[in-house]
Amino acid sequence: MRATVIHGERDVRVEEVPDPVLLAGGSGRDAVVRVVAACVCGSDLWPYRGVQKTREPKRIGHEFIGVVEQVGDAVRDVAVGDAVIAPFYVCDGTCTNCVNGVSTSCLHGGWWGSQDREGGFADAGQGERVRVPLADGTLVVVPGVDLESTEGRALVPHLLTLSDVMGTGHHAAVSGGVGPGSTVAVVGDGAVGLCAVAAARRLGATRIVAMSRHPERQALARTLGATDVVPERGDEGVARLKEMFDGVGPDVVLECVGTKESMDQALRSARPGGQVGFVGVPAGGPELPVQTMFSTNVGVRGGVAPVRGYIEELLPEVLDGRLQPGVVFDLELPLDEVAEAYKAMDERRATKVLLRP
């Protein structure tokens, strides 16, 4: 089959790789999924840009939806022909951490594009097929949807966001403690930041400020629920937010970037006693200033989002159209043009690219 392989800085290629098969002699808990749609994540740009070194050619991609083609003997909840969403990681759904709602810390889980714990290979997402370990724990079935029907095709972008960005934006909002009546600012206008806006609206925030300088993303943020837009950053951004919220700042700030500047912006913008919900993968720091947090009582909570559990929570609203996060995709390409997909995101010509194998 064809799948994406990263060879080094700015070098991703679609190549012929072995077809995935169920693991013979394994636990029988794996499945093979034919990918209907995949996408490129902001974090895929790290190895693409050489920030993370690629020491040897490596399969890449961790967001996909598709149709089940084969299941192992022990798989119970997923059947051949089911439309499924995969979270950006593998989990069993039954260990202590999964039961505690932190399936990203699954004691038996793993990551796409690497060996699983039974000695098999969990293919990465940007390819034609994927061997899925722990299929019952990992996959969520989309009931009654044919992803290749006209109706199903229209749902694909929205469903695909549940694989990562929508669940991650939701995690920022949940970690920030957003609830009815909350005032919220969102730092970051990428796909995750935009989804965080949608999540905050869904959780009942009454004012949601998107911090963005890009006219298209400002418009998208308003579509998804932002009540205000603030283009200022740094000291000016902090001052603007304080001014807007009683001189003290919003209750919650959602940090959806991961840089030193964005975390600093978030910590300084939240009101005393407020909370920062963070999901931006920390790009090498900074460490958090504990003395500032102590004196302001601003809490910090978040991390790698346990989206597997959120898929089940958000799916009904995607299916009935109340939640349409797929608007974050502004480019669709065939898998063969994956190099252009990375290039477009790297050059900021696209917010998020959907790939069809």
Angle at CA of residue 343, ends 337 and 345, nearest 5°? 110
Alpha-carbon gap, residue 150 to 153, rounded angstroms: 5
Residue 136 C-beta: closest distance to a copy of itself, Å = 21
Six-digit token string for 327: 């608007």
Binding region for a copy of itself (CB under 8 A) out of 7-15, 33-41, 232-240, 269-277: 269-277
112 part of the interface to a copy of itself, by CB under 8 A: no
Residue 50, amino acid: G
Residues contacting 130, CB < 8 A, separation 6+: 20, 32, 33, 35, 64, 66, 86, 112, 122, 123, 124
Q: What is the DSSP string of 142-169?
A: -TT--TTSHHHHHHHHHHHHTTTHHHHH
67 part of the interface to a copy of itself, by CB under 8 A: no
Binding region for a copy of itself (CB under 8 A) out of 97-105, 118-126, 332-340, 342-350: 97-105
Q: Which of 144, 247 has the CB closer to a copy of itself?
A: 247
Alpha-carbon gap, residue 143 to 139, rounded angstroms: 12
278 part of the interface to a copy of itself, by CB under 8 A: yes
273 part of the interface to a copy of itself, by CB under 8 A: yes
**Interacting residue with a copy of itself among 62, 268, 271, 352 (CB under 8 A):** 271
Binding region for a copy of itself (CB under 8 A) out of 12-20, 282-290, 332-340, 346-354: 282-290
**Interacting residue with a copy of itself among 141, 304, 319, 339 (CB under 8 A):** 304
Residue 25 C-beta: closest distance to a copy of itself, Å = 28
User: Binding marks (x or -) toward a copy of itself, 223..252, rule CB under 8 A?
Assistant: -----------------------xxx----
91 by Cβ neighbours in 10 Å (0-12 / 13-18 / 19+) ranks as: buried
**Interacting residue with a copy of itself among 57, 148, 295, 312 (CB under 8 A):** 295
102 part of the interface to a copy of itself, by CB under 8 A: yes
Residue 315 C-beta: closest distance to a copy of itself, Å = 22
User: Distance from CA of residue 260 to its chain's centroid?
Assistant: 20
Residue 86 C-beta: closest distance to a copy of itself, Å = 20
Alpha-carbon gap, residue 262 to 285, rounded angstroms: 11
SS3 readout for 244-284:
HCCCCCCCEEEECCCCHHHHHHHHHHCCCCCEEEECCCCCC
Residues contacting 150, CB < 8 A, separation 6+: none
Q: Which of 28, 299 has the CB closer to a copy of itself?
A: 299
Q: Which of 227, 296 has the CB closer to a copy of itself?
A: 296
**Interacting residue with a copy of itself among 143, 204, 285, 316 (CB under 8 A):** 285
Q: Which of 207, 222 has the CB closer to a copy of itself?
A: 207
126 part of the interface to a copy of itself, by CB under 8 A: no
- Give 316's Cβ-side CA count (13 Å radius): 3
96 part of the interface to a copy of itself, by CB under 8 A: yes
Kindly determine how many residues on this chain lie close enough to bind a copy of itself according to the rule CB under 8 A.
40
Q: How far is CA 265 from CA 220, 256, 257, 293, 344, in A?
A: 22, 11, 11, 13, 27
123 phi/psi in degrees, rounded to 5 = -55, 155
Q: Enumerate binding residues for a copy of itself (CB under 8 A).
A: 96-97, 100-102, 104-105, 107, 175, 246-248, 263, 271-273, 275, 278, 281-282, 285-291, 293-304, 306
